[in-house]
Structure 1
Amino acid sequence: MAVVTTDQVEDDQLKECILIKENISSTVDGRIWSKSEKKQWVVGLFAGTTFLYAARTIMPLCVVGVAEELHWDKTESGMVLSAFFWGYCMTQFLGGYLSDRVGGDVVLPIAACMWSLITFWTPQFAYLSTDKHIGLYIVVLSRVLLGAFQGFHYPGMTSIISRKVLENQRSFTYSVVAAGSYVGTLLTGSLGSVIMDEYGWQMSFYCIGLLGITWMLMMRYMLIGKNRRKHLSISPYSEPLIEKVGKGEPKSSVPWLNLFAKPAFWSLLVGHFCENNAFYILLSWMPTYFHENFPSAKGWVFNVVPWFITIPSSVGSGYLADIMINKGYSVTFVRKLMESVALLGTAFFLFLISFASSYHMCLTCLALAVACCGFHSSGILVNPQDIAPRHAGSVFGIMNMAGAIPGFIGVYIAGHILETTKSWNAVFGQTAVVCLFGWVVYLIFGTGKKVI
């Protein structure tokens, strides 16, 4: 019989404690997720992104009815829609920084609690004052706060995935999670449309807000809490050994000066800005476009079809990107290819809609334009994890802050253009030109190599 010495037992316990310490918190760079862990986290993050976008898009869906009831013109509607992105822009860097420091699993539930509650109470905010202008400003403020708390989600999610998923699996993992944005918009367009038609626009906000709160509680206590309890289940005699392991090396700060000197980083900002400009304009104004140009069209059709076909384009692009990388194609080539489909495809279909006259042709063009946006998930959206894997959350926060700017500028300008020119072709044309500019910049300066 083999004899186990005290030293061997202590060595085995020490090794076990090292593994436990590496996984107690995302503030320590530890092992990647196991298959079961990855499935659980991907499902959880996918659901969170779904409800995040459902809360984000419920106002664009309801804005026609809300504007009629509260007597808003298109410029005021544009102000309400764009206000979200003022707040969204403010917290991107903070979200990435905190996620890299204390862990995205800490940041996401706190932020989700706040944006869910704001969504739930939005109808009450609209009725706080009988004065039209005061009521408008209150709704605008609530939209700013909604955007501010939602600004923590994507940087936190990026920080988690960059630390827990291998490079050759990140495209598919991230594209699956990011596809929740289209599912959330689809959920709003289908379920939200039915609820709005049957029970009024107020009930849509209540339902989406409750879904967000439910996800936050399940994520916090069933996934994050369970994992932490598992990692902290250490026998009493092991505690002194943890002290031997130490608390892990402190995080290195982001070398911002070095990063800002890299053309690849600036190409991310420009490309993301241009793609988001198209996406947010379509997201915010597409329901209004169909209401005005095809008033007899069914709302559940044009609010569902574009986002339904975008789900396979987002997931499929990630799957294709990982296959290409595993077959030996460079990460740079794959990222540029995916982004070319996103930006060039969106621009092409936005130009094409100027020549469309029938409802079905217009719906097809806009649906394909949105579907092309899905390729962005395996292009620029995952690129911060390539160029700065140790600081992906912070870099993504800066990039998404730039990407949020067209949310309030582009969406507001689109409303102003419509108010003054009454021309949808002018809106779609200028959006397509911006996409082409972003494509050229990223094609020249973008890279999939680590730069910091």
Structure 2
Amino acid sequence: MPMATTRAQKMICLSALFLAWAVGYADRIVMSTAIIPISKEFALDAQQAGMVLSAFYVSYALMQLMGGWLSDRYGSRIVVVMCVVAWSLFTGLTSMAWSFASLLLIRFLFGAGEGCFSPASSVTVAEVFPQQERARAKSFLISTVFLGNAVGSGMVALTVVYLGWRGTFHILAFVGMIVAAILWLALRSGMAAQQARSAARPKNQLRELVKNPTALRLTAIWFCTSIVYIGMISWMPSFLLKVYQIDLLHIGIASAIPYLLAFLGTNVVGWLLDKHGKGREKYFMMGGALACAVFLALMISTTVIELLVVYWTLCLLSFNFVYATVFSVPLKHFPSHLIGSATGLMNFGGQLAGSIAPVVMGSLIVAFNGAYLAAFWFLVGSAMMSFLIAMTWRLAPPAAPAATLPETSSSHTS
């Protein structure tokens, strides 16, 4: 018999996951700002800085597939909590780096620690929320990328200026450990449902997944779109500092505006997907990718900082349509036993892009004698590629499941 989940239980789980997502993204975004004083301390050039920024995404990508499989197999609670503990540990160790090589190693381990979290949280959403509420729940969680970046950009810039980059990593590590404890307590109510699902899951999930054309195209779309987003967040602080001569503190303030509006925008897109998105996912992704390319091109063409912030905001709002859609499709259209693995596969593609984008952009900046134009046009090209792939996307008819899995039901509807 399906496990009933009350409104209070859903809100507690969602709030705890939201907090973890926000802290995780703040931990990530700190390096984009901290890389400026770190580069000075360790005498890094743009190419080396790009390698430090990319090191996280290499291991993060590799762990996505394992995280999805572990969560589908054993339930999400233990995977989610251990991820937060691991990434908080390596966030703290980042403050102890003493060289370029040690930075690369610690950031690589940090990515491995956080890598399982995203697919595991998707499994938690499927365990707690009924299908008709999942796009809103998932969009609320993934919108923390923008809230984490907004708060992270402002607060991190403030702490880096006044406490130094090492002190900033100490604070984030401490906060992360507190969040891990909160998660362990908040997710207890889902253990019975996790155990029931685990017993019923069929074998050969990966084989079933890689034969699904919907999952493969979603992965390709997310790969191209992630190049755009990760490339922007990795190099925008340096771009603003060098091209517009803005100091660290004001970079944080300028960055917060687009991210806060994008946080709201992601939740609006999630609502639209639940209410009006059925059968229209392709157009959400196409329109978002195309508009993202247009506003990014306008952003790098202007010399007025106010216009740059406007175009940057519109670019992120456009990105939301791809972002929310990609991650809601598995929750709404895939069999329950594939949700974590599908999310892991898509995130693998996205984080593989993250391991490429900062290094490619850093190399282009070096090749063009410190100019950023070619590096940002590389992002425009990636957005257009996402648009072209989205044109070919269609929802594959569902395969007959190997076993019927219990679906989460709710005693309340929202």
Structure 1: how far apart are the matches of 2:189 and 2:236? 41
Asked if 1:405 is matched to 2:369, the reply is no
Residue 122, structure 1, aligned to residue 94, structure 2: yes
1:24 alignment partner in structure 2: none
Contact 1:159–1:391 (Cα < 8 Å) also in 2? no
Letter matched to residue 18 of structure 2:
F
* Secondary structure at the counterpart of residue 332 of structure 1: coil
Return the match for 2:10 from 38, 43, 61: 38
Aligned to 2:70: 98
State the partner residue of 1:378. Answer: 324
Whether contact under 8 Å (1:338, 1:376) holds in the other structure is: yes
Quick check: 1:274 aligned with 2:274?
no
Q: Unpaired runs of 5+ in structure 1?
A: 1-18, 20-29, 128-134, 233-245, 326-330
Distance in 1, matches of 2:279 and 2:376, equals: 30
Deviates more, 1:340-349 or 1:35-44: 340-349
1:342 aligns with one of 288, 297, 300: 288
2:112 aligned with 1:160, yes or no? Answer: no
Partner of 2:254: 302
Provide the residue aligned with 1:319 in structure 2.
271
Deviation at 1:107, TM superposition (A): 0.5
Alpha-carbon contact 2:291-2:315 (below 8 Å) kept: yes
State the 1:87 CA deviation. 0.7
Shift of 1:276: 0.7
How far is 1:254 from its partner?
A: 4.0
Where in structure 2 are the equivalents of 1:170-249 lying within 5 Å? Answer: 170-220=134-184, 222-225=185-188, 249=199
- In structure 2, distance between residues paired with 1:179 and 1:258: 29
Structure 1 stretch 418-427 or stretch 59-68: which is displaced more?
418-427
Q: Distance in 1 between matches of 2:198 and 2:89?
A: 36
How many residues of Structure 1 are paired with residues of Structure 2 in the alignment?
394
1:122–1:142: 8 Å Cα contact kept in structure 2?
Answer: yes
RMSD of equivalent CA atoms: 2.1
In the alignment, the residues of structure 2 paired with residue 248 and residue 283 of structure 1 have an alpha-carbon distance, to the nearest angstrom, of: 37
Deviation, 1:390, is 2.4
Change in CA separation of 1:247 and 1:258 when aligned onto 2, cut-off 3 Å: closer
Matching residue's letter, 1:223:
A
2:341 matched residue in structure 1:
394
Q: Which has the higher contact order (CA 8 A, sep 6+)?
A: 2
CA distance in 2, matches of 1:270, 1:248: 29
Structure 2 CA distance for aligned equivalents of residues 322 and 254 of structure 1: 30
Counterpart CA distance in 1 for 2:26 and 2:197 is 39
Secondary structure of the equivalent of 2:279? helix
- Residues 142 and 324, structure 2, Cα contact 8 Å, conserved in 1: no
Answer with 1 or 2: which has the greater Rg.
1
Match of 1:434 in 2: 382
Q: Which string of whole-angstrom CA distances, capped at 9 and with x for unpartnered residues, describes residues 281-305 of structure 1?
A: 0111111110111113622222311
Q: Deviations over 1:39-87 (max 9, x none)?
A: 1111111111000111111111111111011111111100100000111
Q: Deviations over 1:253-285 (max 9, x none)?
A: 244444433332221111010111111001111
- 3-state SS of paired residue (1:196): helix
Distance in 2 separating the partners of 1:58 and 1:261? 38
What TM-score results when the alignment is normalised by the length of structure 1? Answer: 0.82
Quick check: 1:292 aligned with 2:263? no
Partner SS state of residue 75, structure 1: helix
**Superposition pairs for residues 13-52 of structure 1, below 5 Å?**
30-31=2-3, 33-52=5-24
* 1:145, distance to aligned residue in structure 2 (A): 0.7
SS at match of 2:200: coil
Q: Are the counterparts in 2 of residues 32 and 166 from structure 1 also a CA contact under 8 Å?
A: no
3-state DSSP class of the match of 2:146? helix
Q: Following the alignment from structure 1 to structure 2, what is the Cα–Cα distance between the partners of residues 249 and 195?
A: 47
SS in 2 for 1:223: helix
2:406 matched to which residue of 1?
Answer: none
| Amino acid across the alignment from 2:347 | N
User: Separation in 1 of the partners of 2:180 and 2:129?
Assistant: 23
- Find the counterpart in structure 2 of residue 138 from structure 1: 102
Divergent runs of 4+, >3 A: 225-228, 246-250, 254-259, 448-452
Residue ranges of structure 2 left out of the alignment (5+ in a row) = 402-414
**Take 1:424 and 1:374, find their aligned partners in 2: how far apart are those partners?**
24
Give the whole-Å Cα distance in 2 for the aligned partners of 1:418 and 1:37. 49
Q: What is the TM-score of this pair, normalised by structure 2?
A: 0.90
